[in-house]
Amino acid sequence: MHRRCLAPGSRSANNFAGAGVKDYNPELDGMTGAFIETGGRVWDPWGMSNWVPVDYAREAELANGRSAMLATVGWVWPKWFGVFPGFTDVTTTDPVDAALQADTQWWAQFIILCGVIEANKYWAAQKGQSYMGGVNDTPFYDPFGIYPKTEEGRAKMAERELKNARLAMIGIASFVAGHFIPGSVPCLPPGF
């Protein structure tokens, strides 16, 4: 009985380690992301790195992870702290309803802000700076000087950011699933 329960888990653990991938891409071996949680190898159970350039996939993962971190804060903030006083455009703590209540000017400002950020990332890349936060990268925006100066500190920060980004992507996906399919996420209170 116990062997049957453990067998499916052992197969999925092999997928985390990359053993389930027929053609594991050796380009993944030197990248940040080979953690103890994934068996010491970069997690790529479907072999997507054989179809998508590895650097492009990592850039997309970090960009989406950073967006997910902000989205998670945006989802949780009104639930715990309510709306800003005197702010009459949005009157609900429901994030989906709040997005629908927002005036068109807010969406226009948001889209322009995203465009400015993307343009700055592009121009910084042309100068050899990076938004990736890698060990050998010079950040294009560090107003408070918190980016570590040592290689060891940069590697540790890159690992933390990647782990937090992955957790935030799972978190915001669970919030959205719980919103549209009540009861679908265990331990998430109804209406969260």
CATH number for the domain spanning 105: value is: 1.10.3460
Does the annotation place 77 within a ligand binding site? no
Does the annotation place 160 within a ligand binding site? no
Q: What is the mean pLDDT of the chain?
A: 80
Domain of residue 142 covers 53-192
Q: Are residues 59 and 8 in the same domain?
A: no
Q: Are residues 122 and 77 in the same domain?
A: yes
> Per residue in 22-45, pLDDT tens?
567 778 777 777 777 777 778 787
Does the annotation place 161 within a ligand binding site? yes
Q: Which of 52, 75, 91 is the last residue of a domain?
A: 52
Does the annotation place 152 within a ligand binding site? no
Does the annotation place 41 within a ligand binding site? no
> Per residue in 49-69, pLDDT tens?
888 888 888 888 888 999 999
Does the annotation place 66 within a ligand binding site? yes
Q: SS in 3 state form for the chain?
A: CHHHHHHHHHHHHHHHCCCCCCCCCHHHHHCCCCCHHHCCCCCCCCCHHHCCCHHHHHHHHHHHHHHHHHHHHHHHHHHHHCCCCCCCCCCCCCHHHHHHHCCHHHHHHHHHHHHHHHHHHHHHHHCCCECCCCCCCCECCCCCCCCCCCHHHHHHHHHHHHHHHHHHHHHHHHHHHHHHCCCCCCCCCCCC
